[in-house]
Amino acid sequence: MAKVPVHNGSLGGEQYVSGLEGLHQAFSVALGQPVYAPIDVSSKQLKILDSGCNTGKWLLDLASISAPVNHQYVGTDVWTEVFPGSLPSNFCFYEQDITKLWPESWKGSFDLVHQRTVLVNARKLPIRDVIIRMTDLLRPGGWIQLMEGDFAPVQQNGPAMQEFLELGKWFFDEAGPGSDMGPRLAGELSSIGLQDVQETTVLVSNGPDMSHPFSMDQLNTLEQRLRQELADIGGSIRYRVVWGRK
């Protein structure tokens, strides 16, 4: 998902967070489980990173299904104001930009690295470089799981949802990583030498409250048309989830 203007645009930070929390709910329902990589989260203690974690909801969901095992949970984002407040000491949150180098001491230390709908923020940095830096954080045998949008048309979508996807597609092409980034992920993981790479496609029912300068007329009416269309016939966005082992 494109990062729409958060700090200076028509969506205020609070609206953006509540939009993202709605999106997190939609992801959770569509995915059914936070982890697709075949890693046992219910027995021994693991060290788990969520990059671009926003409010940490994915980590918290994972903690609730992993209890009573208390994993070491690390969340990172550039938007630190939305990190959750008081949490148990096995949760840590840090400022980290995916385009910057990760702390040297983190290398080779994680059992699972997760990142969902953040890669567009790599901008002009090749996503391969961003992924390699994240896999460097894995211990041997550790897993990475990525989830990104796939802009191929969804047959049952109505015209406003399709237009919304076109807007996203345009943004991803403009921003740098390209709108084919989701479908490219599995190939990227294999090409950097990860093992047991798999992928699945999920359809996420979606109605995010976002806008982008695509065409003023479209923008002015898109939200209303999309809301109406979602209320009438619903709409879906296709995502790719891929995972691989170091």
Binding site for ligand SAM (CB under 6 A): 1, 3, 20, 24, 52-54, 77-79, 97-99, 116-118, 121
| Residues 35 and 58 sit within 8 Å (Cβ to Cβ) | no
If we measure between CA atoms, which residue out of 133, 141, 182, 150 comes closest to residue 37? 141
Nearer to ligand SAM, 50 or 199 (CB): 50
Cα 108 from Cα 139, distance rounded (Å): 4
Query: Rounded to the nearest 10 degrees, how much is the dihedral formed by the CA atoms of 238, 38, 143, 57?
Result: 60
If we measure between CA atoms, which residue out of 23, 17, 28, 1 comes closest to residue 54? 17
Q: How far is the CB of 87 from ligand SAM (least distance, A)?
A: 17
Nearer to ligand SAM, 97 or 180 (CB): 97
Nearer to ligand SAM, 158 or 169 (CB): 169
Nearer to ligand SAM, 142 or 149 (CB): 149
Q: How far is the CB of 158 from ligand SAM (least distance, A)?
A: 23
Amino acid at 61: D
Cα 88 from Cα 70, distance rounded (Å): 10
Q: How far is the CB of 2 from ligand SAM (least distance, A)?
A: 8
Q: How far is the CB of 4 from ligand SAM (least distance, A)?
A: 9
